[in-house]
Structure 1
């Protein structure tokens, strides 16, 4: 028996023509609100006062800015009762939610810039939902269950089948079987009072991209509709203020759209209002499976709550041979985006045209040959290490050196693209001199509820990569322990593919930032966390590698207001409050 409370609070952000996060295009702007966006929280506490907090946002991703400010406020309000390592902040990955919520520069470019009022609205909703959830705590039984979509339910397809089929540990699928090249299981926690289901936490991986970049309204997409549908059913059963969290699992290569013969024509037939209907139907499939699976209590959860969380520099991980196919000098590298990243995905969100993609590949390969000429010995060794880590990726954007095809970010003419023009503006304003384009230091978290262990991954992890990562952790645990995976947790690191999938250099590989050993780096670090979780808290090692402080003056210069004032001929900016809010050392 646990003390459990839950609540949801709307994220109040007024649509005012700023770009949404997800598709990375200048044109994908919000002028309306189709559905409300929420922060949903479930707080679990033992009778010994150990507290675990889940909070799921109807947002494209979690950023360090969101987590750090939420932690700061919750520590202030709750004191020692709140422990940052026991706080799990997740996102549904809807592509129809506000952008501009990160301290890093790159993914805010389309917005354009950092939008403090968006970030503040998200943090306010997080804190309010957690505090109100704690106020509703009562004795509650928790049961874990599993639902499985049958083969005929049109809910999810693998969108990177050629990459998937490279893996030696799967049964190869043909193009008509894309729907079978995904994990069709949904992992579920049901929260019961007096024998009645009151709240739900679901983990199932499928991209929240039912709605395209052609639309212009905030919307929760399929995960938001699933939550709303489940909550409506529970309300009809007499439950007051139910909360249903529909979070993500292995969604990296999983699309809500049909993939197979004539996929482009079928996708093109779903447009406008039909897209909203399509998202609602996908959400209903998820909601109906969850509620059906939870009709029976299944396996009760009893026992202690534990959590470990460590900030890890994913740009500099030495990989043990056991995770590097026997190689002894495998390492990750600084984040790089490949040509395949800019090409996008053919159904969920196409990027640059094929001729431009070919030109990008040619330029990247030419730059690689130039860099690997032994002209300067010191530079050669650095570039050799970078290219060995990044493998077959045709590097377009090197986030470490802040270069495009080896040239400064301002090398290319502004008129080529609005995003390039915004990059010019920020560089010229001195807004990215010390700031990172994307984060390197990521929070990796492992939590335990009784005999259930949940990996909290900050990336978009593919089906097989997730399977291998869970197996790595399972190997460290007793046979009676269960291992689940939640993704889009606590920050955003791009994609995680297997080594074999990475060699294909489809979109997912092009957006696996830290190179071909990214999954191996996660296996290395999560294996360590699992070993730590097995130890008494007093014996766990301390680690620290928090992200660097954001340069305040640079952050101010890349706010949306700075963009607006610059556009209007003014240099005025406004102050953005930022403080480090997580304790130094490994969160235990």
Structure 2
């Protein structure tokens, strides 16, 4: 028996015309609120007073700014009761949530800039929901189980089937069977009092992109509707203040939209208000599956959780990791590199969210190819060795943006003509204001976390992992923890604690679809994650006083002066007009 409590708090952000996070579109702005956005928290305490705090937010992602400010406030409020290793922050990945919540510059460009009131409102909602969850702790049984969606349920499709089919361990799927090229299993943690389901956590990977980039309102998308439907159902059954969390698993290559023959024609028929109905239906599928599985309490699919709560968390610099040969197909000297975005990133995804126009992408592909030839043709050049290593790490990616070096096509980021695109214009505005001289464009030092809840281990990953990439991480953690018979299940959670783009398998990366173009640290990114999670799992096997892992590294502090220069202080109209005028 555990002590468990839960609560949810609305994230009180007023729509003022800032761009939403997710699609990266200058025009995708919030002028109204369709559904409330929440911070949903669960607090669990074992018999040894070890506590686990989980908070899932209706946001596109967690940022280091969100996590670090939350940790600071909880440390101050809870003092010795708080262990940041045992705090898990997750995002539903709605693409209709607030932007401007990161201290790093790049993903705030469309917003435009950093919006401190958004960050403040989010952290307030997290901290309040956690405090209330702790205050509501009572004796609670925890049961876990899984339930698969039937093949005919139209809930999810693989949006990158050519890349998926490159993986040697998969059954290749045709364009007509993309709904089978993903993990259709939902993993569930149910909380019961007096043998009655009270609240729960669901893990299932599918992008929250039912609501497209032409809409102008905040909303929770399919995951938000799933939570609302489940909470309403439990309330009608007499449960007081239920909280249901619908979090993400391997969603990187999984779409809520049909992918196959005539995919764009089918997607384009879902317009305006129909998109909200579509999101509700997808959420209904998820809610119904979860409730059906968890309310069959005597089912053999549900197992009682017993045992201690434990967790390890370590920040790693994904931009500089040497890969063990065993994870690099026998290749010696394989390394990750500074973060880079490829042409496929700028092209976007054809159904979920198209990017730059095709003629511009063709031009970028040509220029990226010419740059590579130029950088590798002269061994006597001062930067030859650096680029040789960069291209070895990044493999077939056609590099447009060297986010680590702050270069576009080999030139300083401020060189590109602003007339090409309002996003480029906004970047130029920030460069000219001296707002990005010292600050990173994207995170490179990111948190990896493994949580143990009795017999369950939860692998918590920042960013977006594809179906098979996530499975390979689970496999290596499972193999490592097999030395300890107490661990029966290893599950995967994504969009956890920070955001660093995508992670594909090495094979998928060679396709250079959108997901590969947004796998920032090169073709060995997954191998780096596997290696570091293996090390973390080895530490989890040890007694706490015998563990030796990096618990001190953190991202470098962002220059307050530069952050101020790219903060719009609520005046979005001025920032938008300036961005368009550069």
TM-score band by shorter chain is: over 0.9
Distance 1:505 1:465, change over 3 A: same
Q: After TM superposition, give the deviation of residue 567 of structure 1 in Å.
A: 5.4
Q: After TM superposition, give the deviation of residue 407 of structure 1 in Å.
A: 1.1
Distance 1:412 1:147, change over 3 A: same
Which residue, 479, 494, 497 being the options, matches 1:487?
Answer: 494
Q: Deviations over 1:274-316 (max 9, x none)?
A: 0000000000000000011102331000000010000000000
Tell me whether 1:539 sits opposite 2:546 in the alignment: yes
Map 1:311-390 to 2 at 5 A.
Answer: 311-374=315-378, 376-390=380-394
Distance in 1 (CA, whole Å) between partners of 2:31 and 2:479 is 49
Q: Deviations over 1:47-76 (max 9, x none)?
A: 221100000000000000000000100111
Q: Which residue of 2 is the match for residue 433 of structure 1?
A: 437
Map 1:108-187 to 2 at 5 A.
Answer: 108-187=108-187
Instruction: Name the SS of the counterpart of 1:422 in structure 2.
Output: helix
Distance 1:563 1:321, change over 3 A: farther
Map 1:267-282 to 2 at 5 A.
Answer: 267-282=267-282
Q: Which residue of 2 is the match for residue 502 of structure 1?
A: 509
Which residue, 388, 396, 399 being the options, matches 2:403?
Answer: 399
Q: After TM superposition, give the deviation of residue 564 of structure 1 in Å.
A: 5.5
Distance in 1 (CA, whole Å) between partners of 2:380 and 2:99 is 41
Distance in 1 (CA, whole Å) between partners of 2:50 and 2:203 is 23
Distance in 2 (CA, whole Å) between partners of 1:533 and 1:406 is 43
Q: Which residue of 2 is the match for residue 573 of structure 1?
A: none
Tell me whether 1:477 sits opposite 2:481 in the alignment: yes
Any conservation in 2 of the 1:390–1:514 contact (CA below 8 Å)?
Answer: yes
Q: Which residue of 2 is the match for residue 230 of structure 1?
A: 230
Instruction: Name the SS of the counterpart of 2:415 in structure 1.
Output: coil
Tell me whether 1:526 sits opposite 2:530 in the alignment: no
Q: Which residue of 2 is the match for residue 460 of structure 1?
A: 464
Number of corresponding residues: 570
Instruction: Name the SS of the counterpart of 2:52 in structure 1.
Output: strand
Distance in 2 (CA, whole Å) between partners of 1:46 and 1:307 is 13
Any conservation in 2 of the 1:140–1:192 contact (CA below 8 Å)?
Answer: yes
Which residue, 299, 303, 306 being the options, matches 2:307?
Answer: 303
Tell me whether 1:21 sits opposite 2:21 in the alignment: yes
Distance in 1 (CA, whole Å) between partners of 2:242 and 2:94 is 21
Any conservation in 2 of the 1:113–1:563 contact (CA below 8 Å)?
Answer: no
Which residue, 427, 445, 451 being the options, matches 2:449?
Answer: 445
Instruction: Name the SS of the counterpart of 1:483 in structure 2.
Output: strand
Q: After TM superposition, give the deviation of residue 379 of structure 1 in Å.
A: 1.2
Distance in 2 (CA, whole Å) between partners of 1:52 and 1:417 is 45
Distance in 1 (CA, whole Å) between partners of 2:576 and 2:459 is 47
Tell me whether 1:559 sits opposite 2:567 in the alignment: yes
- CA root-mean-square deviation: 1.4
Which segment is superposed worse, 51-60 or 473-482? 473-482
Instruction: Name the SS of the counterpart of 1:384 in structure 2.
Output: helix
Any conservation in 2 of the 1:66–1:122 contact (CA below 8 Å)?
Answer: yes
Q: After TM superposition, give the deviation of residue 568 of structure 1 in Å.
A: 11
Q: After TM superposition, give the deviation of residue 206 of structure 1 in Å.
A: 0.1
Q: Which residue of 2 is the match for residue 517 of structure 1?
A: 524
Instruction: Name the SS of the counterpart of 1:233 in structure 2.
Output: helix
Distance in 2 (CA, whole Å) between partners of 1:15 and 1:195 is 42
Q: Deviations over 1:336-366 (max 9, x none)?
A: 0000000000100011222221111110010
Which residue, 396, 409, 415 being the options, matches 2:413?
Answer: 409
Q: Deviations over 1:499-542 (max 9, x none)?
A: 00000000000000000000000000000010000000011114
Q: After TM superposition, give the deviation of residue 377 of structure 1 in Å.
A: 4.5
Distance in 1 (CA, whole Å) between partners of 2:507 and 2:44 is 39
Using structure 2 for the length normalisation, give the TM-score: 0.96
Tell me whether 1:83 sits opposite 2:83 in the alignment: yes
Distance 1:244 1:29, change over 3 A: same
Q: Which residue of 2 is the match for residue 251 of structure 1?
A: 251
Name stretches of at least 5 consecutive residues in structure 1 with no aligned partner. 571-588
Q: After TM superposition, give the deviation of residue 569 of structure 1 in Å.
A: 11
Distance in 1 (CA, whole Å) between partners of 2:32 and 2:576 is 25
Instruction: Name the SS of the counterpart of 2:178 in structure 1.
Output: helix
Distance in 1 (CA, whole Å) between partners of 2:345 and 2:40 is 31
Task: Detail structure 1 runs of 4+ shifted over 4 Å in the superposition.
Answer: 562-570
